[in-house]
Structure 1
Amino acid sequence: MPLQMKLTAITLDCADPEAMAAFYREATGFELHPGSGADFAGVTRADGLAIGFQRVDGYRAPRWPGQTVPQQSHLDFTVDDLDEAECLLLELGASKPEHQPGGDRWRVFTDPAGHPFCLTGA
């Protein structure tokens, strides 16, 4: 019988954990994690799932889609309206790379620390 594990957190490296938590709090509506500070900050969904951000000295942002600094991981989010979500994310500080392999099915963005993430329509 396989071990039953429940995902409780995802943690990403970055240079500024508090800025990353602020970005994802605005983008997702998650609450700020109570243990947030200068070296670690995070956001938590009502069911307990957390996205954390840890300070790393000398952090180098991923270079998506290139591999000079590989992405290593990325997050996927579902939204009701791709165009509306894109406008909000760009206002919050996300970037939209020129390379968009998803066509009309999904869109790739990078957060303020350079981590790629994708949006798909609901």
Structure 2
Amino acid sequence: MPRFMGFVRMEENIGMPPKSLFEAMDVHIGERAADGRFLDGGGLYGTEDAINFVVREGEVTRVDGPYAEGKEVVGGWAIMEYADLDAAVADQREFAELHARHWPEVTVVATLRQISDGPDAPTE
């Protein structure tokens, strides 16, 4: 079955989500964990302690957070497994609707990407 990674992006430092969203997410994730769709996931701390390694022109530079230029950050992630793309898309929409219902004043981008099973080795 295909696996997917979901990301939640939002503006940083907007405060804690309401308790009702946490409760709805517990139910949502619990149901999916019980039937095997939700494989792993979690929230992420803010970028104040984030570390990036930037590769530019063959040089590696370490850049520590916070990042003033970043407006949206990834706040959470999940790895899920579905029978097909349609099921994954429908479930990601349901996940986004939880945020719309319980935290409507915040802009959230819920992104879904299929995980590649790609080639086992480079082609060259």
TM-score band by shorter chain is 0.3 to 0.5
The structure that is strand-richer by fraction is 2
Give the structure with the higher percent helix: 2
Task: Indicate the structure (1 or 2) with the bigger Cα radius of gyration.
Answer: 2
- TM-score, normalised by the number of residues in structure 1: 0.32
**Larger relative contact order (C-alpha < 8 A, sep ≥ 6)?**
2
